[in-house]
Copies of this chain bind each other. A is one copy, B any other.
Amino acid sequence: MMARVEATKVPSEQPGWDVFVDWMGVIRDLEGLSELLEWDQETAMPPGGAEGRSHVAGTVAALLHRELVRDDIGDILEALPDGQHVDDDERAMVRQARRDRGRALRVPEDLARAESELASRCTSVWRDARDAGDYAMFAAALRPLVAVKRQIAHALAGGGDPYDAFLEEFEPGARSSELTLLFDDLCARLAPIVRAASMHDPEPLPDDHWAEGGQAELARSIATMLGFDLDAGAIGISAHPFTSMHHAGDVRFSTTIDPKNPTTNVLVVLHEAGHAIYEQGLPQRHARTSLYAHPSMGVHESQSRFYEMHIGCTDTFWHRLEPELGRLFPDQLARCDVDRIAATTRRVQPGALRLEADEVTYNLHIAVRFRLEARLIRGELEVDDLPAAWSDEMQALLGVRPEGDRDGVLQDIHWAVGMFGYFPTYTLGNIYAAQLRLAMERELGPLDDLLQRGDFMAIRGFMRERIHSHGRRYSAKELMEAATGEPLSADALVAHLERRYLPT
């Protein structure tokens, strides 16, 4: 107590604060560098570079780890005050730094480097294995990665649930015991919605060709319309879409283009632009600090899923898009009007592929992955047994068995890049998005009216104020409760889906 009372100076006047600030800058630079390496690998690197790149990625990971565990930073962090006389932002920086450093201290540098190198290699193998539908090829690269991830999980968990240690990385505060209950409950409440909605199958799009060039232009138009700043960002094309945050002023996302169907690209752009607009809205004054980030991936996904589902799957949005679509694809639009296109975005039908899943069954896909990866990390399931287990879980939750591993366990990049504990954040994102929508409508009126007016700046403004501008200052729980006025609950999501898909 005495120490706190005596700490009347603000941290910026404390000895070591400058070193601490420089250190945060280096950490952020290295994190951004990792993302840039991935961006380059997916969009520009020649195939022969895979082996060499895995070493470079490993070096960056090792240097990041070495920075995190620096002894002098430990001493400085211990000496810094965190009592009442301290600026809130600065207190949050110290708290986050202690947390990140504490996690890093539990993972030896050689494990961190091995993880990064194995993940980089596994990502390259995954691409070939997926194209060939060859699970054995992928398993050979995934096995050593999972072995290292288990070691890391145990080192982090310190006797607790090893899977929770990875959840903590992406959704600080989440516990698999609670998520298991949440998913079991959600799956049960989704079942009748899936049954009802899948009885009305919208007419599929006619066979047509939507040229890649025009779709790339459409991607830019949509991103700009939503408020993504192309002077501080870029859009690429890759097999698996993703958003990449390199540093202030450089946020990029990639899209995937299907020449037979424009909705893939449009919904991917809405999703990734949701992520990217979030990154562009982080507090600039805190660039190169630990606050220039998001509190959890669930919060991040709330932004992408809000844009994708609550905007992209509405007739009103597609009507807003009609002039631009008509300019780029006049013939195609003459053969298929926007109402018919929009209706296909609300097609609910259990299928094998997550990325093609509708917003209802999507959560069932996530449940499958959540169950499998938790068992895999705990050592209750082996890499060689994944395809069979995948098939069984898909059967149980979606009533669908994939025809081959390409449409099954090989479809996602996440495990190949070493991301375990990430999948549940997609469904948390869906839940948060539905809660945010309710809060937004309380403040700004019906979302459909905003879309009708094309007032995307009001939508972005709401998200800026409630979410983006706070960076990582608050926990996900604190931030979302303040933004929505409600505790975490699946009710808003279920209500949204029932409103959209159940017969009235």
Binding site for B on A (CB under 8 A): 25-26, 29-30, 32-33, 36-37, 40, 43-53, 55-56, 59-60, 62-63, 229-234, 246-250, 252, 287-288
Do B52 and A248 touch across chains, with their CB atoms under 8 A apart? yes
Is the beta-carbon distance between B288 and A53 smaller than 8 angstroms?
A: no
Contact present for A249 and B56 (CB under 8 Å): no
- The 30 listed contacts between A and B (C-beta, < 8 Å) are A29-B56, A29-B60, A32-B52, A33-B33, A33-B56, A33-B60, A36-B56, A43-B44, A44-B234, A44-B252, A45-B250, A46-B230, A46-B231, A46-B234, A46-B252, A47-B231, A47-B232, A48-B229, A48-B231, A49-B246, A50-B249, A51-B248, A52-B246, A52-B248, A52-B249, A52-B250, A52-B287, A53-B246, A55-B247, A56-B246
| C-alpha spacing A73/B59, complex, angstroms | 17
The residue of chain B having its C-beta at the shortest distance from the C-beta of A27 within the complex is: B59
Looking across the interface, which residue of chain B has its beta carbon closest to that of A25?
B55
In the bound assembly, the distance between CA atoms of A48 and B229 in angstroms comes to: 9
Q: Using CB atoms, name the residue of chain B closest to A229.
A: B48
Report copies per complex.
Answer: 2
Task: Chain B residues near A40: list those with CB within 8 A.
Answer: 36, 40
Closest 9 CB pairs of A and B: A49-B250, A52-B247, A48-B232, A48-B249, A29-B59, A52-B248, A49-B249, A29-B56, A48-B231
CB-based contact B248/A59 at 8 Å: no
CA distance A67 to B103 in the complex (A): 24
Q: Is the CB of B250 within 8 A of A59?
A: no
User: In the bound complex, how far is the Cα of B29 from the Cα of A136, in angstroms?
Assistant: 31
Contacting residues, chain B, for A26 (C-beta < 8 A): 59, 62-63
Q: Report Cα–Cα, A59/B32, bound state, in Å.
A: 11
- Could you tell me the distance between the alpha carbons of A26 and B55 in the complex, rounded to whole angstroms? 9
- Contacts A40-B40, A52-B287 hold; do A250 and B33 have CB atoms under 8 A apart? no
CB contacts (< 8 Å) of A33 on chain B: these are 33, 56, 59-60
In the complex, which residues of chain B have a beta carbon less than 8 angstroms from the beta carbon of A62? 26
Judging by beta carbons under 8 Å apart, are B233 and A56 in contact? Answer: no
Whose C-beta in chain B lies nearest to the C-beta of A66? B63
Measured between beta carbons, the chain B residues less than 8 angstroms from A43 are: 44
Which residues in B have their C-beta under 8 angstroms from that of A59?
Answer: 25-26, 29-30, 33
A277 to B139, CA, bound (A): 36
Question: Which chain B positions have C-beta within 8 A of A288?
Answer: 52, 55
Q: List chain B residues, Cβ under 8 A from A32.
A: 52, 56
Distance in angstroms between the alpha carbons of A272 and B288 in the assembled complex:
36
Q: Which residue of B lies closest to A59 (CB)?
A: B29
Contact across chains for B232 and A46 when beta carbons are under 8 A apart? yes
Closest B residue to A47 by beta carbon equals B231
Whether A29 touches B55, Cβ cut-off 8 Å, given contacts A46-B230, A46-B234, is yes
How far, in angstroms, from A231 to B232 measured CA to CA in the complex?
31
Please, which residues of chain B bring their CB within 8 A of the CB of A231? 46-48
